Amino acid sequence: MKQEIKVPAVGESITEATIGSWTKKSGDFVKRNEVLMLLETDKASVEVVAENDGVLTINPGCEAGAVVQIGATVATLDTDAKPAAGAAAPAAETPKAAPASAPAGAAALPAAAASAHLSPAVNRIVNEKGLDPSAIQGTGKDGRLTKGDVLEAQPGAKPAAPKAAPASAPAGAPALPAAASKQGDKKLVPMTTIRKRIAEKLKEAQNTAALLTTFNEVDMGKVMELRSKYKDKFKEKYGVNLGFNGFFVKAVVEALKDFPAVNAWINGTDIEYHNYYNIGIAVSTEKGLMVPNIKDADTLSLAGIELAIRDLAAKGRDGKITPNDLGGGTFSITNGGVFGSLLSTPILNFPQSAILGLHKIQDRPMAINGKVEIRPMMYLALTYDHRIIDGKEAVSFLVKIKELVEDPERLLLEV
């Protein structure tokens, strides 16, 4: 029986996707629930799995990099076929001896270990370069292939340049050849569907909205004291670290209640107000910056928010963010401080009307009651659409966040 493998519906308004990579080849016998391919849409990556056991045949024109329509048939699965004789190694097969250069007592890794569970980034390089993962020695955990392993295994990969001879080299020693010039050494890599969509959205925000950024700074001292005092008990009770983002999400929700225009956006000639609070948290992934949302953040406790942030970060790291995670946001937060940024002007996550930028916490001398004190300070930046939000509202909104974070007891009691 031939079973069609079709491009699944992966989100509202998405009509096409790009085949990022195939994890199996035509003629491979696959097991039920094994991942067959990775689809890239303009919002997220989606894994397509086999619904039954069978032999895979990829349709012509559906190779990695092809753009396909939702619902299109990209391959077939012959569920009556059996695995080729000898395809699977006998269970009692004697393991191969470790190579001579292996440390004494080190067991040789089976070839399959290096190719099992390839990450999306490794998969993409393997498919693009036509490499055989079973022929590459993996240096990752349990013998898995890393990105560096497959890059070094590419045909024509250049060995590391020889080091210059030390100053104390004996007289008359042959001179080492000069390093070859790399002028003109470049390559063109097609933008992924997600990267193209990120570029389009950022440019749309700049071309459409009247962007303006206002700044303030917040003393993080009380939040840091509270976190230091209760972080161990918090982790023990809820199974998640007590971070700083949770306090800012709580503060943002309270501020949005006082300034509803910041939680709205322009829809044609109307202003669309939202009576719910879906807070986007910018997450850096291998495929670029994504902004999945904490839905109904106003209904969550501080622990619930921290758990949601942890789960979204894990999904971003593992390439599991879905279109549903990305849709429906009403306001966004981006934290450049985790990368060391001291100050920046974030760009709107269009069509939203505002985004809050958090930055590095840095000790600075501050005037407190006529005396100079060293305080842990953070710059805040609010970029907003001036077409819908007036300067007074934007400044007052940011001041409200500052006041709440500097008085965390009031924030948690919601008074």
Helices (H), 187-220: 193-208
User: Is residue 281 predicted with pLDDT exceeding 80?
Assistant: yes
Helices (H), 209-244: 221-238
Q: Tell me the C-alpha distance between 89 and 110, whole Å.
A: 11
Q: Does 390 qualify as catalytic in the annotation?
A: yes
Q: Tell me the C-alpha distance between 409 and 415, whole Å.
A: 9
pLDDT digits (tens, 9 = 90+) for 289-325: 788 999 999 999 999 999 999 999 888 888 788 878 8
User: Is residue 81 predicted with pLDDT exceeding 90?
Assistant: no
Q: Which of 232, 258, 318, 390 is catalytic?
A: 390
Q: Which H/E stretch holds residue 48? A: strand 45-49
Q: How high is the pLDDT of residue 111?
A: 41
Q: Residue range 86-109: average pLDDT?
A: 44
State the angle between helix axes of 221-238 and 391-406 in degrees (0 to 180), rounded to the nearest 10: 70
Do 21 and 123 contact (CB within 8 A), yes or no? yes
Q: How high is the pLDDT of residue 103?
A: 43
Helices (H), 23-171: 111-115, 120-129, 147-152
Q: Residue range 329-356: average pLDDT?
A: 93
Backbone angles phi, psi at 74, to 5 degrees: -110, -15
Backbone angles phi, psi at 134, to 5 degrees: -70, -15
Per-residue b or e along 77-93, where b marks 16 or more CB atoms closer than 10 Å to that residue's CB: bbeebeeeeeeeeeeee
> What residue has token string 């997220």?
44
As a whole number of Å, the CA-based R_g of the chain is 27
Q: Tell me the C-alpha distance between 253 and 260, whole Å.
A: 10
Task: Return the top range by mean pLDDT from 118-122, 370-374, 407-411.
Answer: 370-374
Confidence of residue 269 (pLDDT cuts 50, 70, 90): very high
CB atoms within 10 A of CB 267: 9
Q: Residue range 35-56: average pLDDT?
A: 81
User: Is residue 121 predicted with pLDDT exceeding 80?
Assistant: no
Q: Which of 132, 232, 258, 386 is catalytic?
A: 386
Would you say the pTM of this structure is higher than 0.85?
no
Q: Residue range 66-89: average pLDDT?
A: 77
Q: Residue range 227-252: average pLDDT?
A: 93
Residue 306: name the closest of 364, 248, 361, 230 by CA. 248
Dihedral-angle region of residue 205 (phi above 0 means left; psi in -120 to 50 means alpha; beta otherwise): alpha
8 burial via Cβ count (<10 Å: 0-12, 13-18, 19+): exposed
Confidence of residue 33 (pLDDT cuts 50, 70, 90): confident
Q: How high is the pLDDT of residue 92?
A: 43
